[in-house]
Chains A and B, each alone.
Chain A
């Protein structure tokens, strides 16, 4: 099967799963932005995407996307290290116009994954997973909170400065990963030429910036809200 055996096939799997995850990120951002403006709207989304069969199925597809992307990242990196040979260069210079992120995608990916684990432990495990286990309330900071009250979770976590800083660091790693990943995926699919090359690069930079600033906006907005104790808005 060419998709699994050939180098271009394996990379196509990386690019398609990557584009899929990019679409998910966009969707995720849209939901979070809603939380800033209306907490009840966000809680409605949380209830809608709770332990319903379609949300669970969607989560499984999403998880498969992550697993495929990560497994193939590891396979491709191992193969590439082997292809480099046993002797390494003594002098290594990054040629100009070669993005730093493009040479460190695996490392950036692991940083993103590390935070993903934290993020899952904080939100998903206590929300969808708890619900699937048959609980409708979980303990959060000494209080019992409903599993679909997403806004309460956000407010609780983002009132703690270390979590805010950790999440902001996460978005930076994500930004680097996306600026290369976006155009690289299109290049691998073959939707590129001399004219579109620069266009796609600009589009990926803009897209990555919008996504990461969007998430940062939600994070910081909730931190600021927690500072004034909800009195200012």
Chain B
């Protein structure tokens, strides 16, 4: 049964990208366990505004786990202690009365803090722009079933395409590596006939962009896979390595 709980929050506050940040402690009373984690933060901000203080800045949008906008490193886990959900799908029933909850922003050189818990994730957009697409010539729309695709490939591509680009992988990684994201984006296209044509160019361009933006080198700890809200598998990373090494050897 959901109860109302009293909690203590330790929230990272940082005025701007170049300012020094620090933890602030807030107490919240009578929080319904039926509320979502972000609703709890809304309550906190309401309270802060009523007290004449600055509200906590955090990213959120769809609040149904598909847009990839919410972030937050909660008690040592990206997207909180629950598995396979984003922060917006996390509920307060995962926490108990009297708990202290530590909330931090993603910490990675590739994701500089903008303010408080909000980080700049345009690095991922830049990686996509480098090659995460299929070039389409204008003309008639091809029939969806004109190119047969094996069920297995379609399933693997769909699983990779589930990546919402939230950045939890790089946030969870002790090396600040974006390999799980890049590998998912390379895989979802490399597995399909439409994407295969540009697979070599894509793998090279996206890895080059990833390295350029200051993400780390993957050491196969699998922390990304374990924390990913969409359960993207590290077998995608093996595929990316394969695609990349083959593309380079062919040159």
Contact = CB atoms under 8 A, between A and B. Distances in A.
Interface of A: 2-3, 5-12, 76, 79-80, 82-85, 87-99, 102-103, 105, 180, 183-184, 187-194, 197
A6 B208 contact: yes
Interface of B: 10, 21, 23, 73, 75-77, 102, 104, 107-113, 172, 174-177, 179, 207-208, 210-211, 214-223, 226-227, 233-235, 237-246, 248
A222 B235 CA distance: 44
A84 B113 CA distance: 13
Contact of A84 (B176, B246, B248): B176
B175 A91 contact: no
18 contacts: A7-B210, A8-B245, A12-B241, A76-B219, A80-B174, A84-B174, A84-B175, A88-B107, A91-B76, A92-B76, A94-B223, A95-B226, A98-B226, A103-B174, A187-B238, A188-B218, A192-B238, A193-B239
B211 A6 contact: yes
Given A12-B245, A84-B176, A102-B219, A187 B237 contact: yes
Pick the 6 closest A-B CB pairs, nearest first.
A190-B242, A83-B216, A93-B76, A83-B176, A192-B238, A80-B175
Nearest to B170: A83
Nearest to B249: A2
Contacts of A76: 217, 219
Contacts of B77: 93, 95
Contact of B239 (A87, A90, A190): A190
A93 B75 contact: yes
Contact of A79 (B179, B217, B235): B217
B220 A90 contact: no
A7 B218 contact: yes
A85 B108 contact: yes
Contacts, number: 147
Contact of B107 (A2, A9, A87, A103): A87
Which has the most chain B C-beta neighbours within 10 Å: A85, A88, A103, A189?
A85
A90 B226 contact: no
Contacts of A189: 241-242, 245
A87 B111 CA distance: 12
Contact of A187 (B102, B210, B234): B234
A97 B23 contact: no
A105 B219 CA distance: 9
Given A6-B207, A6-B208, A83-B175, A187 B241 contact: yes
Given A6-B208, A8-B207, A90-B104, A80 B248 contact: no
B224 to A, nearest CB: 9
A190 B219 contact: no
A5 B241 CA distance: 15
Contacts of A88: 107
A85 B176 contact: yes
Contacts of A190: 238-243, 245-246
Contacts of B214: 82-83
Given A102-B222, A180-B220, A91 B109 contact: no
Contacts of B179: 7
A82 B107 CA distance: 11
B23 A90 contact: yes
Nearest to B221: A102
A192 B235 CA distance: 6
Contacts of B73: 89, 91
B222 A7 contact: no
A8 B244 contact: yes
Contacts of B111: 85
B235 A193 contact: yes
A98 B224 CA distance: 10
Given A102-B220, A190-B240, 15 more contacts: A6-B244, A8-B241, A8-B245, A80-B219, A83-B109, A83-B176, A84-B176, A87-B21, A90-B10, A99-B222, A103-B174, A103-B221, A105-B219, A188-B218, A189-B245
Nearest to A195: B235
Nearest to B210: A7
Which has the most chain A C-beta neighbours within 10 Å: B75, B112, B242, B243?
B242
B217 A85 contact: no
A38 to B, nearest CB: 41
Contacts of B238: 187, 190-193
A103 B226 CA distance: 14
Contacts of B240: 8, 190
